[in-house]
Structures are given as C-alpha cells and as structure tokens.
Amino acid sequence: MQTARPRSWLERNHSEIAIVDRYRLLIDAVRDYAIFMLEPGGRVASWNPGARRIKGYFSDEIIGTHFSVFYTSDEIASGKPEQLLEAAAFHGRVEDEGWRVRKDGSRFWANVVITAVRDDKNALVGFAKITRDLTERRRLEALERAHVASALVEQARENEQKRIARELHDDLGQRIAALKMALGLRGTEFASALPAQTRAERQAVAQIGPQIDALAVAVRRIAADLRPAVLDDLGLEAALEWLAEDFGGRYGVAVQCELDVSEPDLGEFASTALFRVVQEALTNVARHARAHHVTIALKNDGNQCRFRISDDGAGFDPLSVSRPDAFGLIGMRERIVQLGGSLTVEGRPGAGVTLSAAFRLPVDIRTAAANAER
Ligand SMILES: Nc1ncnc2c1ncn2[C@@H]1O[C@H](COP(=O)(O)OP(=O)(O)OP(=O)(O)O)[C@@H](O)[C@H]1O
Ligand SMILES: [Mg+2]
C-alpha cells in the first residue's frame, strides 16, 4: 500500500508559484478591463495590459503614482478618490460610474469597482480596482434614447398634422362651403342691387365665387398634404395611388404603381412612414430629376415588406457630399431605419435614381423605437 508522502516545502512553494503565475497570466490576458492594485494610501501598485489599453499609461509610468490622476479636476477638488477608498475600506467594496481621464487628457465613461484587500489578520493591505470603459455603451444608450424620442416626436407630429388637417377640412372647409352657398343664393340679388353705372363693382362681385372655389381647393390641398384622409379612410395602397395620380397631374410625369400592400395591414406607423417616404421621393423627382417616368413598387408578403421607387431623370451621385441643409434623404433614411430596414440610394448623373428598402413585419411604434437603436 502506498502511503501519502507529506509535500516538501519546495513542492508546495512550486505549486503556489504556479497558482500565482496563473493568476498573473489571467490578469495579463484581460484586455477589456483595467485590473490593478492600489496601496492602502492610493498609489498604483500593479498594472495590467487592459489598464494600459484603457488608460494609456505604461506600467513604469504609472506605478507609484496616486490613482487620483485618473479623475477629473472637479472630482479631485471634491475629494472623490479618497472618499471612494474610505467607502471601500469601510464596506469592503464600492462601485462607481463616471468620467475618468486618460493619459492624453481625453475622457472615458467608466464603471469602477474598488475592493478592499485584507490579510488574514484583517489588516488593510491595499485595494483591487477594476475599471471598464463604457463610453461606447453610453453613446449607444444616448443614441437609443434619441431614436426613441425621435420616433415619438414623429408620431406626435403626425397626430398634430392629422388634427390640423381635420380642423381645416371640417371647420374651415365647411365655412367656405357655406359662404359659397350664401353667395350663390344672394349673389344675383347683390349684383342687381348695384346701380347700372358700377360695372367694375359688378365684375368684382362676379369674381368672388371663383375666388371662393379656389380657396376651397387650396384648403383641401393643404389638408391633404398635412394628412391625406385617404390614408386613414382607404389605406396605404389607395393613398399611394392618389399621391401618384396627383403628382402625375401636377407635374406631367407618368407614375406607374406596382402595389401589393393591402393584406395583412401594415399598421398605422409603417403606412404613414411609407407614405411620407414616397411623398418626399416624389418631391425630389419634381425638384431635381426632370424625369418622364417614375415607378413606385411596394410588396407586402406578410413577413416582409419591400419598397422601391425609381425615376429616369437627371440622377446624381449619392456618394457626393450632400448639402448641409438637405434633409429629405436623411428623413427618408430615418423613417426606414425605424421600420427596421435601411434605405439604399442608387444613382448616377444622367441615369436616374432608385431608392429601395426592405423591412420585416410587423412594425409598431415600440419596434420602431427599438429598430432605431440599431
Ligand atoms: N430623384 C432625384 N434625382 C436627381 N437628384 C436627386 C434626386 N433625389 C435627390 N437628389 C439629389 O440629392 C440631393 C439631396 O436630396 P434631399 O431630398 O436630401 O435634399 P433636397 O431635396 O435638396 O432638400 P430638402 O431638404 O428640401 O429635401 C438633392 O439636392 C439632389 O441634388
Ligand atoms: Mg428633398
């Protein structure tokens, strides 16, 4: 029978060295976290490659320096570094999040955990400090908040436009209609009541009717631009057909619609967004393209919606720097991103422009806000 041989001092020491080495190797391998030790007074006592990467100092530059160099001047003035060490010594551990300063003076958003390290007699021998650089995450969170806010602002603006369009149509529109009726009933009386020599006045009165008609048309057009009732009443397909016909009539451009969007319903958010994208794309065609022909294609297969609008006009180079005050393409991109897709702009000078996008269904305001963060 083999008896267990007591481990020699040398063997034990070897295995302890191996363990210490393994820990060192582990800490040296970590690049995403700054892991280092502080002396009880706060001077840096060890340094790992992660700390070098995040904070910019080589170990021989920083070891022996007080760790307050990582803090902003305001926080140094308010005594924050010392307060954190006191809290870690008292509670055993402290966690903090805030701006920290790199060697080159730039700032990063850090998550910091400081843990008090004590020996077997409970005497404080120093602190272990682990720092993570969360700048990118913070930037993405801010972006996400901005996108959620922008989706909600978009929705609020659409609702407000809907309300104004309804007021214009229902209130102003009705009053204009009533005025026209009153003029129709009493207009001849007014005109005949005027003395025969006031021909000019008669003509002016005769003009009031057509002017009221023009006013009614203008009010209807403004209301429809703000929010086409057909989008709410008949849905996206009919609204796009109306838009295409209206555009074709106004600008003498042939607009072909290849639409298959009715089932299942895309929902109000996606329908409004697509309507606005087509509206802006057609406005661009009218303003910049001098095109003869435009095609609007939209297909909804229930799981995915594909969209394309192309013209045969002057075209442009999408890679060329756009004007800082041009928001049309930016707005279209944002709307498509909120739907979960991305807008592709293809174009060449002299060869027309094609805008296309695809996105997954269904989409609502919550998925739109979530999509916007990507
Ligand atoms: N269909 C098109 N044909 C030719 N050029 C186009 C077309 N669409 C866009 N462009 C070019 O791309 C540029 C950017 O378009 P964008 O819609 O962003 O801005 P804009 O129409 O100039 O201004 P706005 O902010 O009022 O929309 C335009 O100025 C134009 O040069
Ligand atoms: Mg535009």
> Which residue type sits at 323?
R
User: Both 316 and 349 in a single domain?
Assistant: yes
**Cα-to-centroid distance, 223 and ligand 2 (Å):** 20
Nearest to 329 by CA among 345, 306, 310, 311: 345
Ligand 1 contacts CB of residue 315 (under 6 A): yes
Q: Has residue 62 been placed in a domain?
A: yes
- Ligand 1, atom 3, lies closest to the CA of 289
User: Both 127 and 184 in a single domain?
Assistant: no
Ligand 1 contacts CB of residue 353 (under 6 A): yes
User: Both 313 and 181 in a single domain?
Assistant: no
Q: Has residue 210 been placed in a domain?
A: yes
pLDDT of residue 10: 52
User: Both 168 and 107 in a single domain?
Assistant: no
Domain closes at, from 85, 107, 133: 133
pLDDT of residue 1: 46
Could you give phi then psi for residue 342, rounded to 5 degrees? -140, 145
User: Both 245 and 111 in a single domain?
Assistant: no
Domain that holds residue 249: 231-374
Q: Has residue 321 been placed in a domain?
A: yes
User: Both 24 and 76 in a single domain?
Assistant: yes
Q: Has residue 236 been placed in a domain?
A: yes
Q: Point out the ligand 1 atom lying closest to the alpha carbon of residue 327.
A: 25
Q: Has residue 3 been placed in a domain?
A: no
User: Both 362 and 307 in a single domain?
Assistant: yes
CATH of the domain at 22: 3.30.450.20
User: Both 278 and 292 in a single domain?
Assistant: yes
* Ligand number nearest to the C-alpha of 329: 1
How far is 84 from 116, CA to CA, in rounded Å? Answer: 11
Could you give phi then psi for residue 116, rounded to 5 degrees? -75, 135
pLDDT per position as a tens digit, 58-90: 999 999 999 999 999 999 999 999 999 999 999
Q: Has residue 4 been placed in a domain?
A: no
Nearest to 242 by CA among 252, 226, 227, 231: 231
If you ran DSSP here, which 8-state letter would residue 302 be given? S
How far is 283 from 173, CA to CA, in rounded Å? Answer: 26
Domain closes at, from 100, 133, 166: 133
Q: Has residue 2 been placed in a domain?
A: no
**Cα-to-centroid distance, 311 and ligand 2 (Å):** 14
User: Both 248 and 261 in a single domain?
Assistant: yes
Task: State the angle between helix axes of 236-251 and 268-284 in degrees (0 to 180), rounded to the nearest 10.
Answer: 10
User: Both 25 and 62 in a single domain?
Assistant: yes
Domain closes at, from 84, 108, 133: 133
Q: Point out the ligand 1 atom lying closest to the alpha carbon of residue 289.
A: 3
CA 361 from chain centre, in angstroms, equals: 19
Ligand 1 contacts CB of residue 284 (under 6 A): yes
Q: Report the SS3 class of residue 27.
A: helix
pLDDT per position as a tens digit, 128-163: 999 999 999 888 888 878 777 877 888 888 888 888
pLDDT along the chain (374 residues), means of 10: 52 65 79 93 96 96 97 96 97 95 96 95 96 91 80 84 84 88 74 67 80 90 82 89 92 95 81 93 94 96 93 92 76 88 92 95 70 54
Q: Has residue 1 been placed in a domain?
A: no
Q: How far apart are the first and last CA of the chain?
A: 67
**Cα-to-centroid distance, 369 and ligand 2 (Å):** 24
The residue to mutate among 276, 280, 288, having the most atoms of ligand 1 within 8 angstroms of its beta carbon, is 288
CATH of the domain at 307: 3.30.565.10
Q: Looking at the 3D structure of the chain, how many domains does it have?
A: 3
Sign of CA dihedral 335, 339, 344, 349: negative
The residue to mutate among 316, 317, 355, having the most atoms of ligand 1 within 8 angstroms of its beta carbon, is 316
User: Both 343 and 236 in a single domain?
Assistant: yes
**Cα-to-centroid distance, 152 and ligand 2 (Å):** 23
**Cα-to-centroid distance, 317 and ligand 2 (Å):** 15
How far is 129 from 40, CA to CA, in rounded Å? Answer: 12
**Cα-to-centroid distance, 139 and ligand 1 (Å):** 30
CA 351 from chain centre, in angstroms, equals: 31
User: Both 242 and 264 in a single domain?
Assistant: yes
pLDDT of residue 332: 92
Q: Point out the ligand 1 atom lying closest to the alpha carbon of residue 311.
A: 1
How far is 284 from 295, CA to CA, in rounded Å? Answer: 14
